[in-house]
Structure 1
Amino acid sequence: MKHRNFCQITAAAVILTAGLPCAQPASATPLASARTQTPLVVNARWGGHCTYDRLVIDLKGYVPTVTVTPVTRLFYDGSGERVPLAGKYFLQVRLHPAAAHTEGGKNVYRGPKLIKVYLPKLKGIAMTGDFEGYVTLGATFNTKPTYKHFTLHQPERFVLDIAHPNVC
């Protein structure tokens, strides 16, 4: 009887310890390690819909904190030079932490640096900064924009919808 209990205990111990190399602390899970990597801004794209214009920022990694701020003008980060896009109203979209380049300095952003857009509301997009953990883009409008923003996942995206009257 003692031998049988000993065998059962030994077998249980072997089974339990066999699983230990597979166990990982929470900090080593893929989600946690993905959060430690700076998300990369890889593209910006836009589209027109019946009642809104949409700006989408594509990311590799996760969606960082994003602030959308109405500003009086758009300026390039670092230089402070004015962004040469016409418009009366401007939105600054700032992502942090984020980068548009790898740690080695290779540019990963493939979207427009500066482009006029001919949609009902959205008139231009500019990449205005990629510096010290912040990526900043700007959008221009001829009339005051009413907007909402949200995130989408798999793939990771930040979405800015700008409302306008139905054009369909």
Structure 2
Amino acid sequence: MNHPHRRRVVALATGALLTAGTALAAPASTAPATATAPRTPLVVNARWGGHCTYDRIVIDLRGHVPQVAVTRVPKLVQDGSGKPVPLAGTHFLQIRLHPAEAHNRAGQSVYHGPKLVTIHLPRLKGLALTGDFEGYVTFGAAFRGKPAFRTFTLHAPERFVLDVAHRNTCG
């Protein structure tokens, strides 16, 4: 055998032995994967209220509050079908929670809030559950005027809160 060919064979054999040794030396986990994975939070309700200087949306959860993205959208549509959501308003926000579900493992709904509701507050004009699919729960909110909003979470029980400012209506 010539030297360059022998070096290539030795290098390949050494690489194969190192790979096999690493795989054999790696410890196997004794705990099932589901034992360490946090349970997906469940969206169980959505509610709203009017205050002197803001309108509030509250989304109630069982478990922890997941990541929430609030996005301005030109119109509200149902996730999956793309069908328009019939809520009157001039501006719209999409509220998307992930990972989250509004159903249990058997596929039964655990969400007890409104699916579609017209609201008569200074800014907030409607709220709809627009999706519960593949780890995403989505709501659409309709407003009169461009909403200036802030979001935060509350605990015990777990809640996501969106406040939309408006002029003082209390005097």
Aligning the two structures, in what range does the TM-score lie when normalised by the shorter sequence? Answer: 0.7 to 0.9
Distance 2:91 2:123 in 1: 10
Shift of 1:78: 0.7
Instruction: Report Cα offsets for 1:146-168 as digits up to 9, x if no partner.
Output: 00000000000000000000000
Of all paired residues, the percent bearing the same amino acid is: 66
List 4+ stretches of structure 1 deviating above 6 A.
none
RMSD: 1.3
Alignment partner of 2:94: what SS?
Answer: strand
Tell me the equivalent position of 2:9: none
| TM-score of the pair, normalised by structure 2 | 0.78
Distance 1:139 1:98 in 2: 18
Shift of 1:43: 0.2
Instruction: Report Cα offsets for 1:48-68 as digits up to 9, x if no partner.
Output: 000000000000000000000
Tell me the equivalent position of 1:132: 134
Shift of 1:106: 1.0
Shift of 1:142: 1.6
Alignment partner of 2:100: what SS?
Answer: coil
Instruction: Report Cα offsets for 1:116-147 as digits up to 9, x if no partner.
Output: 00000000000000000000001001200000
Distance 1:54 1:47 in 2: 5
Report if the CA contact (8 A) 2:43-2:102 is conserved: yes
| Number of equivalent positions | 137
Tell me the equivalent position of 1:19: none
Distance 2:144 2:83 in 1: 21
Shift of 1:108: 0.3
Distance 1:36 1:79 in 2: 30
Tell me the equivalent position of 1:87: 89
Shift of 1:100: 0.1
* Greater C-alpha radius of gyration: 2
Aligned-partner residue type, residue 158 of structure 2: E
Distance 1:103 1:92 in 2: 25
- Paired residue for 1:46, among 45, 48, 54? 48
